[in-house]
Structure 1
């Protein structure tokens, strides 16, 4: 009772606060505004289609079909005028275009000029279907254009029925004509039977004469066969001769071309051998000079080696002297630094004496006027100035001594580097001397080889001259052979052509005889078949006459009334048996918009009702939990009751069970309320953002509008995780299908969701209450 007392006190405080009370009353209307206004707007849009302006333009010029005049466009206009599917506006093409530009019409239906003429081509070799031009104004309203597309399909069906009905009338007229023709064909079949008897007698004589012709053509065919074989052998030999002579001429031509290139190469090789000989001679002379120069280089390298040894001794002595000089310059630098320090002291003392005498003279005017004192002061100032100059000179000497010592150090380092370089140079000179000796030996061998090459080049030049003369003679003989092969090839070609013509003539003759023999045999066979066929013709013509007369009788009995025409035009009717009736859009969308309204109402309630605080000071966490929970339960009851009343009695929604509709509405509202209460209690303001995100996902994945199968695959996985999925299914069951088992299953899921989130809210208040108790227990110890 104490927990309920906190709730009643909070409610009393709320009622006493006029602003808060007005806000709560406004929040109660949120679900009604969402669900009621949306459902009112979309309750039955197809029931007001007669207010949707649609332009209709008829430019059909009509056509002739058999004995009938087709004006399908005018018939379609008459049908549209009888219907109230849309607010039809029958205008010209110009008015329709202007109205579409000014957003006066949602769509335009154009019946083209050739509409009837194309409908009359049904029995042509290439029939052309009629077309209705549908021009939706999608920029004005997309849904209206989609609805118009469905209406145009229905119009097409109606037009097809009218055209098919006209086709049926013409077809039945033709059937009557066929019946008359069949009667005439029956009498003609009797005449055919009489003629077949006479044809049978003539066919017997024809077969007798054709048998004699077959025997003669067989003998002719046997005599022509050996002649044809001989002509074939002659042609094969001529073709082989032609191919061989052609190949020989081609090869000799290629050989002649290659010989010309070879001859040019021999001439070039001869010139190259001459140049090679001259080059080798010059190379031999150069190698002799190289040999003499290398001998001089060997002598020079020996002298260089001896000079480098003397230089190394001198660099060693220079290095020792520089080291001694470096030590002396170091001592000199130290002495100059000491002298500089002494000079500084002397200059400072002289300056002090001069200043003291000056001060003494200033303190005693008598002393200042004494000439001896004046001289003494002047002398002391001169001494001070000279000592200062002496100190400056000593500083310069000290700096010069330091620079001299640094230069001595650099010279000492350079002397060391010089001595090392001379050692390396001496080693290189030794290697140079050895290499020059080896090079001299190699040059001797090179000179001997060049002498041998000069002799070989002389012999090569003589051989090249002989080869050049021989190639010229061979080229002349080869040209004569190539001309002869060309003449041989030309003669072989003429023989091949003549033998080919001979063989062709023999083949044609043999083929003609063969064809003649085959034809005579086929004629003989055909004559026999003709005799048999004429017998069958005689029998069949009698049967044909009787059947044609019977067909004429039956076609004359065919019925051709309006009901038959209607059957041809519309042979199939659709019988619609609704599994569950949803009379209008409002009933179909009610589960979706009602779930949306209750969810938004629960979210807005968290803005008006305090989530954590209470008007009772010192209330425990559990008491605050009870107070807040009962407050939200009360809001949920009022919101669901008000929404159900408005939808049932304001919008006249028909449901399968009114009590279960009230109950499921309350369960849905309570589940949404507990879920949103827990999220906002834990997260405060960010929690409301989380709830809005959940609302967005539920709007797209709950399958309240489009089927679940039509949304993206990654959204389908969210469908079973969000509570609005179950509220939409439950409302569909209690409103339309009457599947109360399914409704109770969805109610159980929503109840479980509400209990889980209610438990989370209790955990929050328990944790806050425990934290407050710990703070109170720790407060005295801290103050102590």
Structure 2
């Protein structure tokens, strides 16, 4: 150990005495930091300068008419991009854009086609079409730029889609809101409709019976109408016959009225004459009864009485005949007048009684001759009886005359006039009925047609009844199911939600609440662990490329002591390199490390491990060891996950990743930059420490053996004159 330390101290003194060596060593100490700083600075915030990335925008959209409203989404998008500073948007024509992108003046071109608005507006049609934006990118200019411009294009598409969805959903939710208001207003009608459905479901058997009954009734009604249509000709004939009969009756009544007017005075005259004769007879009998009569006088009186009685009976008989004619006339009326018939019958009976009374008086007068012989007194009594009978007859004739003038004649004339009026009304009615018969025929024909159609419809409804009944039951079951599963009031409340709030929700339905557990300020800070670890390894490569790993002109020193002594020199220079790199990251570049002290300490630890690995490889294998160190560098840059997640790497690099020192060194530095999780630190330190110890042991115990073989190979290679 003392000899090894002596070798280290000799190296330090030699560097101090030789300014050239000091300058070279100083350059080796400082040079790796430039590698780290320049790369970190170059990648400090590349995504913060995308506003300097030229991207062309070509708007060929001609707009569209959607339900009477003009829309021009392309123009709106251009106006939006003019206010956007995410990229250097260049608004130009298709020809210029494609020419400049070929030459690399534009990294990408976005072309809004002429049917952009039209296709967006097709969302309200039966066959909506997706709108398209043509995107062109020149990928040969830069490998990262296409990804950035593609992200910008995606953002544009997402923004247009979001705004479009927001607008469409705004309209939809405005409609939903109105629908909710209408549903709330129509809630009583909805409940009533549900009740109707349930009532119909309950009444389905009655409806079926009603349809069957209606069908039967329609057939019966059709038969009745056909029967009525068949009787129309008979009704026409009956009306015609009735009019004929009424006309005849009116003619007859006119004639009867004329005859009444003619014989009414004659009847009164006859009655008056009969009354006058009866009075004369009465006066004559009074005179006869007061004188003494002989047979000659009796014959003369008898003759006079007989003549007067005969004349009176004749006139009474004529009156009775006239009254009998009036009675026959009254009986021929339809309907007959009961009151007039009763009065005429009474008049006829009275004239018959008068006639009988006069005939009795005439008979008594004829018996006067027989009473003359020895029965003078009886004759006087008979004459007295005749006188009394004559008086009674006169009284009755006067009464009948008064009754005829005051009752019978006015009644007959009035009833005749009324019968005539009734017949005229009947004629008018029959004439009206006769004029309506064609309309009745038309109505019956139309009714027959409608009943036939109704019967057909009823029959069709009856045939469709099973289907309709099944649908009604299904609808009722569905309503009950919905009532059980869904509360329509909740649906209405949902529809009544604020449409603006719903629109805002669908414009951005998900908000990403980003919680940075170990926040990194920028891309450069995130890349600091990788570039710092890389610069430490590069520093080791620079040292072994310029400094010798063996000590010459030293006697009595073993290979193990030379290995350990020169290792101290390499470690010291490596630690100085690491201090400059880590402290420079923190101070010069302003990298924000959550734990800056540990950042420096972890760097020093990593430097020791890396230097041990690289130094051991070169110390044992010479130039071959340098090649191995470079190979390890290449593999570790690609497979350590310093730039891309390991999961995104090819399978080979995923396989070797767990065995690469870079994997644990970068992770250890990330812990210091972002925030320490000591379990991960323990894992990383353990792997690096074991790796360093393994290489150290290999160097200490195998250097002499390995060098014996490598010196022979080195000697042979130098014989070619190509290697030093």
Smaller-chain TM-score range?
0.5 to 0.7
2:536 to 567, 573, 598: 598
Give the SS at the match of 1:85.
Answer: coil
1:747 aligns with 2:685: yes
Say whether residues 1:207 and 2:194 are aligned partners.
no
Asked if 2 retains the 8 angstrom alpha-carbon contact of 1:6 and 1:616, the reply is: no
- Quick check: which has more Rg, 1 or 2? 2
Distance in 1, matches of 2:3 and 2:542, equals 29
The answer to whether the Cα contact below 8 Å between 2:170 and 2:502 also exists between their aligned partners in 1 is no
Give the match for residue 666 of structure 2: 728
Is residue 2:587 matched to residue 1:644?
A: no
Within the alignment, does 1:72 sit opposite 2:77 as a pair? no
Q: Secondary structure at the match of 1:633?
A: helix
CA distances 1:334-377 after superposition (whole Å, capped 9, x unpaired): xxxxxxxxxxxxxxxxxxxxxxxxxxxxxxxxxxxxxxxxxxxx
Contact 1:32 1:643 in 2 (8 A): yes
Determine the C-alpha separation between the residues in 2 that align with 1:201 and 1:6: 120
Runs of 4+ in 1 over 6 A off after TM superposition: 179-193, 196-203, 209-213, 520-523, 528-538, 553-557, 768-771
Q: Distance in 1 between matches of 2:469 and 2:625?
A: 104
Equivalent residue number for residue 572 of structure 1: 510
Q: Is residue 707 of structure 1 aligned with residue 645 of structure 2?
A: yes
Which whole-Å CA distance do the structure 1 matches of 2:707 and 2:110 have between them? 73
Cα pair 1:15 1:21 within 8 Å, conserved: yes
1:142 partnered with 2:148: no
Separation in structure 1 between the aligned mates of residue 96 and residue 681 of structure 2, nearest angstrom: 55
Q: Deviations over 1:404-436 (max 9, x none)?
A: xxxxxxxxxxxxxxxxxxxxxxxxxxxxxxxxx
Higher relative contact order (CA 8 A, sep 6+): 1
CA distance in 1, matches of 2:146, 2:473: 71
**Contact kept in structure 1, 2:621 and 2:707, CA below 8 Å:** no
Displacement of 1:599 in angstroms is 0.9
How many angstroms apart in 1 are the aligned matches of 2:627 and 2:707?
A: 26
SS at match of 1:588: helix
Are the equivalent residues in 2 in contact too, given 1:611–1:681 (CA < 8 A)? yes
The residue number in structure 1 matching 2:59 is 58
**TM-score, normalised relative to structure 2:** 0.56
Which of these residues, 608, 611, 624, is aligned with residue 562 of structure 2?
624
Q: Deviations along 1:23-81, whole A, 9 cap, x unmatched?
A: 22222123212221111111111111111111111111222334543222222222222
For residue 630 of structure 1, report the CA deviation from its aligned partner.
1.5
Give the conservation status (yes or no) of the 8 Å contact 2:595–2:675. Answer: no
Q: Contact 2:176–2:495 (CA<8 Å) still a contact in 1?
A: no
Q: Distance in 1 between matches of 2:690 and 2:207?
A: 103
Cα distance in 1 for partners of 2:679, 2:472 equals 82
The residue number in structure 2 matching 1:688 is 626
Partner Cα distance (2:472, 2:171) in 1: 39
Q: Distance in 2 between matches of 1:60 and 1:580?
A: 46
Q: Is the contact between residue 586 and residue 592 of structure 2 (CA under 8 Å) also seen in structure 1?
A: yes
Distance in 2 (CA, whole Å) between partners of 1:156 and 1:626 is 64
> Do residues 716 (structure 1) and 658 (structure 2) align?
no
Find the residue that maps to 1:595 and give its secondary structure: helix
Per-residue Cα deviation, 1:437-468 (whole angstroms, up to 9, x for no partner) = xxxxxxxxxxxxxxxxxxxxxxxxxxxxxxxx
CA distance in 2, matches of 1:609, 1:635: 11
Equivalent in the alignment of 1:323: none
- SS at 2:70 equivalent: strand
Question: What per-residue deviation string (whole Å, max 9, x for no partner) do you get for residues 619-664 of structure 1?
Answer: 4545433430211111111011011011111111122212211111
Shift of 1:13: 2.0
- 1:183-582 equivalences under 5 Å are 204=209, 206-208=211-213, 526-527=464-465, 558=496, 562-582=500-520
**8 Å CA contact retained: 1:682, 1:761:** yes
Match of 1:433 in 2: none
Q: Measured at CA, do residues 527 and 579 of structure 1 come closer, stay the same or move farther in structure 2, by a change above 3 Å? A: same
The worse-fitting range, judged by mean Cα deviation, of 169-178 and 680-689 is 169-178
For 1:595 and 1:178, how far apart are their aligned partners in 2? 66
Q: Partner of 1:438 in structure 2?
A: none
| Aligned length in residues | 457
Match of 1:609 among 540, 547, 552: 547
Q: Spell out the pairing of 1:100-115 with structure 2 (5 A cutoff).
A: 100-115=101-116
CA shift for structure 1 position 681:
1.1
Query: Distance in 1 between the 2:534 and 2:677 partners?
Result: 22
Contact 2:619 2:703 in 1 (8 A): no
Structure 2 gaps of 5+ residues are: 219-457, 480-487, 710-724
Question: After superposition, what is the alpha-carbon deviation per residue over 1:294-334, rounded to whole angstroms, capped at 9, x for unaligned?
Answer: xxxxxxxxxxxxxxxxxxxxxxxxxxxxxxxxxxxxxxxxx
TM-score, normalization: structure 1? 0.52
Distance 1:765 1:11, change over 3 A: farther
Q: In 1, distance between residues paired with 2:111 and 2:182?
A: 43
Task: Report if aligned partners of 2:620, 2:703 keep a CA contact under 8 Å in 1.
Answer: no
Between the aligned partners of 1:34 and 1:203, the Cα distance in structure 2 is 97
Secondary structure of the 2:89 match is strand
SS at match of 2:165: helix
Shift of 1:206: 4.0
